[in-house]
Structure 1
Amino acid sequence: AGQVGNNDFNNLQMATWDDLREMKDSGLVSFGSHSYDMHYLEDDKAVFLEETKYTEFKEDIIKSKEVIENNLQVEVKAIAYPFGETSDEVTNIVKEAGFEEAFILSPSPITPDSDPYYQNRYLI
């Protein structure tokens, strides 16, 4: 997960689209979404989990998918839920948006029986 652009985010230098194209050309990485602009909290709650934000969240993740696909000429099939959180409703939105797999935040291995929309990922 990360952010693309020259913006200063907590004094971290962000990758550029050229950096990401170089990574793509290496054949060593794949790319997924983490939302376009819905990874923030309001009152210590992930805003995208609120029912009133579902339409906005769907538009946001479709935009994220399209921006990555258009800039890198890759198909984006995966999303990491912001904050590693989801709900049945959010998972259905992710499916409707065209994602084939999604990742929660849980420090346990993925197994052959893992649900493709509730795959574990480790925070690094």
Structure 2
Amino acid sequence: MSNPENLRYSKEHEWLSASEGGVSTVGITQHAADALGDVVYVQLPDVGDTVAAGETCGELESTKSVSDLYSPVSGEVTEINQDVVDDPALVNSAAFTSGWLFKVRLADEPQDLLSAAEYESFITSA
């Protein structure tokens, strides 16, 4: 499995894109999607909600379990991926592309996020 070099990663297995105009995209990693199994339901924060780094902001339900979704950064949700709400399997099939979850206007610079190499080392040592 290859984690894109242009993303940053949390230890809760979320990824964050580089900020474009102060807005970043959030999703879960392929590692997390594979561990979850077939995702059948996604609950995301609402547009306008404030999320806090490291705090729960939604849920992902699979045929195996329900997992909390954590925000890797603090800020205001500007968009959710309605395609994922309508077809949660996108999380499994395209975790790093069309399976993104929400966009957030950053309140401050992200802290404690890992590079692709650091994340790879983290998941292989766990």
Q: TM-score range by the shorter chain?
A: under 0.3
Asked which structure has the greater RCO (Cα within 8 Å, sep 6+), the reply is 2
Q: Which has the larger radius of gyration?
A: 1
Give the TM-score normalised by the residue count of structure 1. Answer: 0.26
Greater share of strand residues, 1 or 2?
2
Q: Name the structure with the higher helix share.
A: 1
